């Protein structure tokens, strides 16, 4: 699982990447770096995972799983994907490797699914055999379904104990996020077989779904582990303003829509409160909204200046945000890639020490961030 703000001026110098494509040398306030184009012409890529052999898997929201082998995007798609729907914000979302993938070749996919009862978020487990997924099995389905085509969540991460965390958005129906009998609007913790973890906070609570780990989450689009504490960190979209970074802790209510720093898209208030008793306040928030997507802590050796920093992609604001964290407080925020005009969908920490980025567009790219020298 190699998995607020002061704008800076970015210098631009064209060089050549190992793939033979143009690379850009850029400057931050701590170091210089280059963007290498690893792959392009992907249709709204959504997530990327790095394989033990150095290859990469990329999901396209349009319902394709693609392989990048030896720096080349393969034209043949990975076969055997589960049935899914591409509608509105729905499609194929995350691809996540089993902690023992190198031996069992098992991976997990999150995606939107539709039947006669409506649409929802699902998670399937499958085994990668060559260029085909086999033994595909649905292990999680958020219920009830609804007719909306937004706020699916779909981010996933494993913790150090091998528990799988799955985000489900409020599906655009905000009050569902406060209903523990409704899977929408929270984080679910399950085993690799889809069973609730025995220590889940609501497992013995009458009227609550036993896979819930947290609730009151609007639409989580970034999820990663803290490299020292092992806790799950997330960020979620606010409405007009109020995007949040949260530390996900068992049983906590993160407030949506009872409290928020944002307002409705109509311009009318959603809540008069930004905090209240029994609600977990965000570690950090953005107003106006940046539409965060993808996040990772930097733990590599290529950029010692960035050790421990949190990186967050932004869709609406089209940038990469670097955050320095001390004692669960953001002490420095720096905007990167503001001149690139790219919607950053995913940010991954690579085993090579590079940061890997996906851009969300009909001709999306895979970038690799490396030192300028």
- Residues marked active site are found at 151
The Cα–Cα gap between 62 and 360 comes to: 12
Label the pairing between strands 156-158 and 220-225: unpaired
Label the pairing between strands 243-248 and 284-286: antiparallel
Label the pairing between strands 310-314 and 72-73: unpaired
b/e map of 137-158 (b: 16 or more CB within 10 Å)? eebbebeebbebbebbbbbbbb
The Cα–Cα gap between 39 and 247 comes to: 33
The Cα–Cα gap between 164 and 213 comes to: 11
The Cα–Cα gap between 68 and 55 comes to: 6
- HSE at residue 363, side-chain half, CA atoms within 13 A, is 2
* Alpha helices by DSSP H, the chain: 101-104
Label the pairing between strands 106-115 and 92-97: antiparallel
């Amino acid at each position: 699982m190699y998995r607020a703000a002061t704008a800076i001026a970015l210098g631009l110098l064209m060089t050549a990447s190992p793939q033979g494509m143009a690379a850009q040398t850029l400057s931050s306030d701590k170091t210089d770096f280059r963007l290498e184009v690893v792959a392009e012409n992907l249709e709204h890529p959504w997530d990327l995972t790095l394989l033990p052999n150095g290859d990469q898997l990329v999901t396209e929201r349009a319902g394709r799983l693609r392989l990048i082998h030896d720096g080349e995007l393969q034209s043949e798609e990975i076969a055997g994907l589960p049935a899914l729907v591409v509608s509105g914000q729905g499609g194929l979302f995350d691809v996540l490797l089993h902690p023992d993938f190198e031996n069992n070749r098992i991976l997990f996919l999150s995606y939107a699914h539709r039947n006669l009862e409506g649409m929802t978020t699902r998670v399937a487990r499958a085994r990668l055999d060559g260029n085909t997924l086999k033994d595909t099995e649905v292990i999680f389905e958020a219920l009830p379904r609804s007719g909306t085509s937004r706020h699916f969540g779909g981010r996933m991460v494993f913790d150090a104990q091998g528990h799988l965390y799955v985000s489900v958005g409020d599906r655009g129906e905000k009050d569902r996020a406060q209903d523990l009998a409704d899977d929408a609007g929270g984080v679910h913790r399950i085993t690799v077989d889809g069973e609730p973890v025995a220590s889940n906070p609501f497992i013995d609570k009458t009227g609550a779904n036993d896979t819930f780990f947290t609730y009151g989450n609007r639409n989580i689009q970034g999820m990663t582990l803290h490299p020292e504490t092992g806790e799950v960190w997330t960020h979620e979209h606010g409405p007009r303003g109020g995007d949040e970074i949260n530390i996900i802790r068992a049983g906590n209510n993160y407030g949506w829509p009872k409290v928020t720093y944002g307002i409705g898209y109509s311009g009318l208030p959603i809540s008069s409160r930004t905090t209240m008793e029994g609600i977990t306040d965000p570690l950090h928030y953005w107003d106006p909204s940046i539409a965060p997507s993808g996040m990772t802590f930097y733990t590599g050796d290529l950029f010692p200046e960035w050790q421990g920093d949190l990186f967050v992609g932004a869709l609406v604001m089209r940038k990469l945000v670097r955050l320095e964290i001390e004692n669960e407080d953001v002490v420095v925020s720096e905007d990167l890639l503001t001149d690139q005009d790219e919607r950053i969908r995913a940010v991954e920490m690579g085993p090579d020490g590079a940061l890997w980025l996906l851009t969300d567009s009909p001709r999306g790219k895979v970038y690799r961030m490396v030192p300028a020298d």
